[in-house]
């Protein structure tokens, strides 16, 4: 799931593709990559992941990364991680957990009308 990183004007961005929406666990080799890369690039960082990286339940079902606590621990060990952005749940949510802002956006396919536009510019 974690598969890319790029630097945009001094801010690191990590991307998780989330193409397998039924397997929401981040494998150990990707956690090691995240841990190592964050340790080397000490600048403001935003992490993008299809599945929420915090505990998120909707209508009695689990919609977050299974090993979110392990991912959060890695992020919290690197104080330059400022935010994580997610989708998957088709619901708006903002949570601040141990100083990191976790933002989940509304799905772009659920509702019509400009008032329900989920398009975002980061």
CA distance 64 to 93: 13
Q: Which domain holds residue 70?
A: 2-116
For position 62, what pLDDT does the model report?
Answer: 76
Residue 47 within any structural domain of the chain: yes
Query: pLDDT 10s digit of each residue in the chain, 122 long?
Result: 455 565 666 655 556 555 555 667 888 888 888 898 889 888 888 888 888 899 887 666 678 888 999 999 999 999 889 999 888 787 888 999 999 999 988 776 666 777 766 666 66
CA distance to 10, 19, 39, 62, 96, per residue, from 50 (Å): 23, 8, 23, 14, 18
For position 15, what pLDDT does the model report?
Answer: 60
Residue 88 within any structural domain of the chain: yes
Residue 121 within any structural domain of the chain: no
Residue 102 within any structural domain of the chain: yes
CA distance 114 to 122: 19
For position 1, what pLDDT does the model report?
Answer: 47
Report how many domains make up the chain.
Answer: 1
Residue 9 within any structural domain of the chain: yes
Q: What is the CATH number of the domain that holds 58?
A: 3.30.750.180
For position 12, what pLDDT does the model report?
Answer: 57
For position 75, what pLDDT does the model report?
Answer: 94
């Amino acid at each position: 799931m974690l598969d890319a990183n790029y630097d945009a004007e001094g801010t690191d961005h990590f991307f998780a593709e989330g193409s397998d929406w039924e397997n929401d666990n981040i494998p150990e080799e990707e956690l090691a990559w995240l841990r190592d890369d964050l340790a080397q690039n000490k600048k403001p960082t935003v992490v993008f992941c299809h599945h929420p990286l915090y505990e998120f339940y909707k209508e009695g079902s689990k919609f977050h990364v299974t090993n979110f606590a392990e991912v959060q621990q890695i992020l919290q060990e690197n104080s330059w991680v400022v935010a994580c952005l997610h989708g998957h749940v088709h619901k708006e949510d903002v949570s601040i957990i141990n100083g990191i802002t976790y933002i989940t956006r509304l799905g772009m396919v659920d509702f019509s009308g400009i008032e329900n536009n989920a398009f975002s510019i980061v």
